Each structure stands twice: as structure tokens, then as C-alpha cells.
Amino acid sequence: MINLQYLMFLPIGIGIILFIIPESLKPIKGVFNLLVSGAVLYFSFLVFKMNSGLLNMECFKFPSVSKYLIFNVDNLSKLIALFIGIFGFLFALYSLSYITKEKAVKGYYSYYLITLGAAFGAVFSDNLIIFIFFWGILGLTLYKLIKGYDEESSSAAKKTLVLIGMSDSVLIMGIGILWQLAGSCNMSEINIATTGTLGIIAFLALLVGSFTKAGAMPFHSWVPDYVKKAPASSSAFLPASLDKLLGIYFLVRICKDIFQLTDWATLMLLIIGAVTIIGAVMMALVQHNYKKLLGYHAVSQVGYMITGIALGSPLGIAAGMFHMINNALYKGGLFLTAGSVEKRTGKDNLDELGGLSKMMPLTFFAALVFALSISGIPPFNGFFSKWMIYQGIIDFGNGTGLANKLWIVWLTLAVLGSALTLASFIKLIAGIYLGRRNKGLEKVKEVSFLMWLPQIIIAIVCIGFGIFAAKLVIPYLIEPVTGKLDYVGIWQSQSVSILILVSIVVGFLIYLYGNMKNHRVSDSFIGGEKIQEETNFSPLDFYQTIKNFKFLSFFYKKAEKKWFDIYDVFKSMILWFNKIFSLAHNGFLPRYVLWYVAGLLILLIILIF
């Protein structure tokens, strides 16, 4: 019990105290941050070892508040909390040397710690009111972890908080309806069907909350904008890892505990999942800003998790959750590598980068591992979770509902999404690390120890999770939540890994053997001319054609006009209303008096006659 309290209130308390320390003492704050997040990691291990059950916290002298302070420590929340602790620590380590720039966010470490505490609060709280309280604080810290130093970044911050705040408001409504329907607002006591108007509204409202946090379509549009301008550690910490963990955690709670999914709900979730996978990855393909590209991938991967959880079977949910953990790992890692690249080069456009692999070998290695993981290449972890999702979909096809009959559609789209992910990551890796070095990049060095260490740790975890998925990871982490899993297919990850390793070694030997013979090295013959800069094709140009493809270009043009951005759609609608009402207020006093009299008369007429 006491561990749980430490977990929530220690970071929040220290975070508030850190406000007092002046900004000039940033390194000290960073060390504090690291110590606290280390302690939190320790406590999250302790909590992970705890027995499951509902805990009721005493709140000083207020018995009526204690009634609400119920914390649900079950396998799901323990799992999520453990990973929050891990990520909190790793990113704190990374921040230590990353957050020194001029444009660093004010109060970064305070908000970092408050985020950490609030995330634990949201994960463990059983009462929906307490949950929404912590959930909302996460939106606030998300807003404060980006600095509005120019037009674009302030717009991103604004957009983020508006969308998150929107989801919170809708969530409040959903919680209100749930309370009304179930007579209780403890998640562990609620279990209702998604039938009836109210039930459906409540279900949708809760979904909005979870989707916006996780960044699923159509509420995704804050993610790419946010990650483009935020410090990379903020992006890695919140949109890439914690928000995914929490959003999907809540989705699992919704689908598994709070509601019983009916056919249409499953179908809807699957459609959203598929659209998110494909739509976001298509957007990612044409990005030139690598942070924004990663942002769209952060959206795209949510689609897999939603698909997995929507299946409703233990296998599907396990797949969704495993993918969530994997995604948090490699996406967080990718943002860290992106941050490293940005810190060393100061550029965030793929066109201006290239050939960094020699100068930043460790970062390159980590980025490569993450890119292969996210693209679902065996034996990395991304492959295993995607494979589980495919298994789940195939298994799902045995059912009788409409969604079940369409299983082949979901499967195709999921596989297609995976292929497109690979395509766009080839672009990223090639654009940043391989290819010809652009001007002005000669003096780039590897990042400092504190920055590459977290990247490498995460990369090793990614590999480890991939290799030992079936043997260790799933049984210890996921199966306590979902129960024993039956796989439809067979995947021996260790033996496959060994095979792959052997093939890599053999390939390397062949490469060495080839290099041992002393070849004559000369420029390729191109008609006697010298190699020009222009003849060296950038890998990025291949992707231009996608944009011009006839069918797709229509969508891309619309996307550029922000037709698919729910934020901009509503913004223009509301501004239109605003214009009309503004015209009515023309400052002419007699008109105002007339309104007064007219209002009076209308009220009289309505009420009396």
C-alpha cells in the first residue's frame, strides 16, 4: 500500500518542490529528477511483486474522500506501471544531457515528475473520478512539456491541449452516463453492455478519451504536430510511450472490464484500427521532417493495438498489449535517436541529412534496431507482436458476425500497413544515416554517454523481447493479464533467431571473404565525366512518386488542406459561427435596446400564451 502511495505522490511532491529551484540550476534539477525516477522504478518493481486486489486509501480526516480513493492493483495495472517506471527512468537519464539547450522548456523536470506521478495515479485508480483527475493532469503536463518559442510550436501546443481537453470533457460526460447507468463509478464494479442509446454514447465517449490519448484516428492530429516541435525527450516520454501505455491501458479496461463488446462495437473498432494503420502510414511516407514522420508512425502503430484489442479474444488483447509495450519501447527509442541527431546536427529535415552512420555508430545501431522492430522484421519484438495480431485475426475469422467474416480485410490491411512501415523506415534510415553526407555535417560527433546509454538499453530490450517473446516475456508479463494463450500458428522465436544469426554471420563472412581479395577501387565509369553532386540520388526522391499517384494524390491534397484533421474542421466551423454572431453585435445602441425589448416580449409570449 505504502509503495503505491510513494509511486504516485513522491514524484508529484518532488515535482512541485522543484518549481522552487531556479531555472539556472538545471543540472541539479536533472539529478534530482533522475534520483526520483530511479526510486520510482524501484517502487514500481515492488508494486509489480505485490498481490493483486483493491486497495482503499485513507485520506487524512476526510472519510468521504477515502470512499473514492480506491486503487485497483491487478495484473494489468501492475504491468503498465512497471513499464511507466522503466520509461520514466530511461528518459530521465536521457534528459540529463539532452535538456541543456537554450530553448529548453521552463520547469521541464517538474512537469516530468508530475507526469510520472499522474500516470501512476491514472493507471491504478479504480474510481473513474479520480482517474479523470489524473488523466487531465497528464494533458496539462503534455502542454507544458513543449515550449512555444515560435508560431508553429505554440500552435502545436495549443492544438494539443485543445484536443486533449476535448477528449477529457467528452470523457467526463461518458463517466457521468456510466455513473447514471451502473450506479457506481468504480471500474471494477461496472460491467454493462454496449446496447441502448446511453450505453452506446458512454462507450463512444470513453473511446474518445482513450483514442485521443493514444493518438488514434480521427483524434490523432495533435501527435505529428506535437512531436515535430517538442523536445525529443518530451516526445519520447509522452506521445510515444506514456500516452500509448495509458491510452491503450484504458482501451483494454473499456473493452475488457467496463463494457461487453457487441458486434457493431467490434466492427467499429476494427475499422478505426485499420484506417489508422493505413491512413497514418500513408501520411508518414511522404514526410520530410523525420520527427513528423515518427509522429505519424506513432499514430499508425496505435491502429495495430486497437485492432488487437478489438478482436476481444485473449490472444487479440494479449497481442494488442504486447504491441503497445513494444511500440513504447521502439518508438520511445526512435524519438531518442531523433533527438540525438537533432542535437548534434541541429536539423530536422531528411533532405539536409545523410551519411551519419559513421559519425554516430551507436545511435545508428539503435535506430536500425528500432526501425527493423517497428517494421516487423523477425526476430525483433515488433515482429512477434504483429505476428500475434495476425494470429488473432485469423482466429477471429472463425466467428459468425459481420466483422468476423471480413477477417481477411483486416489481415490484408494490417500486413499492408506493416509493409508500408518498412518502406517509410527505409527512407528514414537511408535519409539520415546512409547515403551521401550533406554539407555542414562534417563535424558531427557521437552523442554523450548519458544519451546513447538509454538508446542502447532500449535497443537491447527490443532484441531480447523479440527473441524470448514466447518463452519468457509473454508468460511473465502478458499472460497474467489475459490468461493462458493458445496460438494458432507456431513461431519458434529462439530457433529462428539462431537461424537468422547464423545467416548474418555467414553473410558477414562472405562479405569479408569478398573484401579480402584486393579489388581495384575506382569511380564508376560515366562517360569520362566526373561524378556530379546531382547524379547522387537521394533515397527520398523515390517517395515523391507516391504523392503524385493519381488516386492517392486526391487524398494527399485534401490532407494538405486539413480535411482529415478534426481540429481544423471544427475550428473553421466555429469561426464561421463566430463571424455571423459578430456581425450581429455592431455596436449600435438602439439595436441592443431593441434586442432587450424583443427578448422581453418573446419571453412573455412564450410563457403566457
Interacting residue ranges for other proteins, rule: CB under 8 A:
61-62, 64-65, 129, 132-134, 136-137, 139-140, 147-151, 153-155, 157-158, 161-162, 165-166, 168-170, 172-173, 175-177, 179-180, 198, 201, 571, 574-575, 577-579, 581-582, 585-590, 592-600, 603-604, 606-608
Spatial CA neighbour of 547 closest among 560, 537, 534, 565: 560
Query: Could you say which DSSP state residue 127 is in?
Result: B
Supply φ then ψ for residue 404, to 5 degrees: -65, -40
Measured from the CB atom, is 61 or 445 closer to other proteins? 61
Measured from the CB atom, is 9 or 449 closer to other proteins? 9
Q: How far is the CB of 598 from other proteins (least distance, A)?
A: 7
Contact of 381 with 330, CB cutoff 8 Å: yes
CA distance 220 to 214: 8
Q: How far is the CB of 589 from other proteins (least distance, A)?
A: 5
Measured from the CB atom, is 49 or 591 closer to other proteins? 591
How many other C-beta atoms are found inside a 10 Å radius of the C-beta of residue 93?
Answer: 23
Q: How far is the CB of 209 from other proteins (least distance, A)?
A: 12
CA distance 135 to 240: 16
CA distances from 262 to 265, 311, 575, 598 (A): 5, 11, 38, 51
Q: How far is the CB of 190 from other proteins (least distance, A)?
A: 15
Contact of 497 with 379, CB cutoff 8 Å: yes
Element (H, E) at 71: strand 70-73
Q: How far is the CB of 37 from other proteins (least distance, A)?
A: 21
DSSP 335-352: HHHHHHHHHHH---BGGG
Amino acid of residue 520 = R
Q: How far is the CB of 583 from other proteins (least distance, A)?
A: 8
Measured from the CB atom, is 170 or 540 closer to other proteins? 170
Q: How far is the CB of 219 from other proteins (least distance, A)?
A: 12
Residue with cell 483494454: 252
CA distance 107 to 266: 42
Q: How far is the CB of 68 from other proteins (least distance, A)?
A: 10
Measured from the CB atom, is 201 or 409 closer to other proteins? 201
Measured from the CB atom, is 563 or 595 closer to other proteins? 595
Measured from the CB atom, is 23 or 560 closer to other proteins? 23
Beta strands in 232-307 (DSSP E): 259-260
Q: Bridge-partner residues for 54, per DSSP?
A: 72
Measured from the CB atom, is 201 or 500 closer to other proteins? 201
CA distance 428 to 435: 11
